[in-house]
Amino acid sequence: MHKIQCKYRDILFITDNNRAFGRHITKNGDAKYILRDSDHVEISCVGTDRIINLTSHWSGYGAGFRKVFRVAPDPDRVDSVNVVFLGFDSTSRNGFLRDMPRTLKVLKDFGAVIMNGYNILGDATPATMFPLLTGRTELELPDRRRGFSGAYVDDFPFVFKRLWGDGYRTAYFEDSPEIGTFQMRFNGFCNPPADHYLRHFFLLANEVDRESAGPYSDQ
């Protein structure tokens, strides 16, 4: 393949329910596109086969981590540990132990703290996530439910915001954005909750999957 030309445009966060696209930027050959305004980008490429002189097209989405400038932490916090929360929804502890032994081994090898005594404090995913990420139950936080309030959840005391204030580089990802913890029943975020936030990347990728599956697919 030669004469490859790719067009890139950033996928820009507006709110959890709105996005925009940046201007197209063209790169030729093996020239690299540097992520600056977003961690995810729409890509469209065209190239010519060297042997049969046939033009090929490809389009899709890419994701990475753009460079983020953070305020330097206090001298006594420079060597602080990394903090990672990894959650599996809709599964019991015993089900996790039975069905995901390799994942459990990886967590143990990393020295992860497994919260064996943690119990859900209400109904559904938010009842699990609010206490873990804010230290409070849903009822102890301002009402941000759809249809009851037009406000977003940005002002909740999420732990990743506290870590951000301590100089951490932060990320928050959910792999099922259509039923997101803070979007399905709540108004979601007005601003990105962390330095790296892939909600709109996953939404667009899922749209492509549905279109590719066709009307007779069971996906």
pLDDT reported for residue 218: 41
When pLDDT is cut at 50, 70 and 90, the band that residue 212 belongs to is: low
pLDDT reported for residue 52: 78
Residue 7 has pLDDT above 50, yes or no: yes
Q: How far apart are CA 193 and CA 161, in angstroms?
A: 7
Residue 124 has pLDDT above 90, yes or no: no
Residue 86 has pLDDT above 90, yes or no: no
pLDDT reported for residue 84: 87
Over residues 4-25, the mean pLDDT reads: 96
Q: Where are the domains of the chain?
A: 2-68, 75-194
122 closest CA partner among 148, 141, 96, 94: 141
Residues 6+ apart with CB under 8 A from 213: 219
